[in-house]
Amino acid sequence: MTSTEPAGRPVLRGDELRDALVIPGGFWRDVRVVAETGSTNADLLGEASRGLEEGTVLVAGSQTAGRGRMGRQWVSPPGAALTFSVLLRPAAVPQASRGWVPLLAGVAVALAVREETGVEASLKWPNDVQVKGAKLAGILAEQAGAAIVVGIGLNVSASRDELPVASATSLAIEGAQRVAAGRLLVGILGELRRWYLAWAGKLGDAAGSGLHAEYQRLCATLGREVRVTLPGDRTVAGVASEVDRTGRLVVRSAAGPVPVSAGDVIHVR
């Protein structure tokens, strides 16, 4: 599912990905591959507002305006990462339960990385995919009306000096030197479809679908001492004791348990 550029970067083939993923009556309806765009999330959000159907995937070799959580920029050399977005429409799921979508995507990425590469990926709450504390992949979910677009950026072949920050890593750095990018993408989308259909089929019940237990199994934040920067520059410190059924991180602080729905987590130790 890939060819190779002279620099050794994988080039994904849209026709081969469609052959592997788009089947009659299946969940994935279309897989598009472009060499470059500003943001795959922005592109799909625009099309979602015009009625684009669920199950569309947009993959970019390079993004010039990629975005991460909390307004951060996502930067990666062309071809060094898997950068793609998917369009979901969980119409039957109550709004209060839709916050599980980015956590669900994190589970899908971590499981596929483990299966396809042998790299022991884990999750940092809410949805960073890490290896031994270094960030491997980021996930950004954005909602427009009834649609949710999930963007995923996964460092594949980037070398140490190509990464934007010292706290990041790539599959190549972690020992997976010859990753079949197309096969990895198919694996991620397979896990995403499986968990999304199970969760949506239970009307967003993360516990009933098994998603809650699987997320907690993969979450390296739990049991750690953490410091969380909350909106408004407030902080809470303590031990991350659990992820509750709504997806919030529960921090056992000196003042008692504090449920956190949004914030920037630092693993203290």
CATH number, position 139: 3.30.930.10
How many domains does the structure of the chain reveal? 2
Q: How far is it between the farthest Cα atoms of the chain?
A: 58
**Per-residue pLDDT at 166:** 87
**Per-residue pLDDT at 6:** 35
**Per-residue pLDDT at 242:** 97
Distance from the first to the final alpha carbon of the chain = 41
The tens digit of pLDDT for each residue in 105-128 reads: 999 999 999 999 999 999 999 999
117 and 195 assigned to the same domain: yes
Q: What's the average model confidence in pLDDT over 207-234?
A: 96
48 and 109 assigned to the same domain: yes
The tens digit of pLDDT for each residue in 229-267 reads: 998 889 999 999 999 999 999 999 999 999 999 999 999
38 and 20 assigned to the same domain: yes
% of the chain at pLDDT higher than 90: 79
Tokens encoding 67: 């975005």
**Per-residue pLDDT at 5:** 42
179 pLDDT more than 90: no
**Per-residue pLDDT at 76:** 63
32 and 102 assigned to the same domain: yes
57-66, 102-111, 143-152, 190-199: least confident range: 57-66
**Per-residue pLDDT at 7:** 43
The Cα-based distances of 169 to 63, 174, 205, 223 in angstroms read 19, 7, 33, 23
117 and 74 assigned to the same domain: yes
Last residue of one domain, picked from the residues 216, 233, 248: 216
% of the chain at pLDDT higher than 70: 91
DSSP class per residue in 200-246? HHTTT-HHHHTHHHHHHHHBTTTTSEEEEEETTTEEEEEEEEEE-TT
Indicate the average pLDDT of the chain. 91
72 pLDDT more than 60: no
Local structure of 22: helix, strand or coil: coil
CATH of the domain at 249: 2.30.30.100
Q: Pick the more confident residue, 38 or 76.
A: 38
96 and 16 assigned to the same domain: yes
Domain interval for residue 226: 222-267
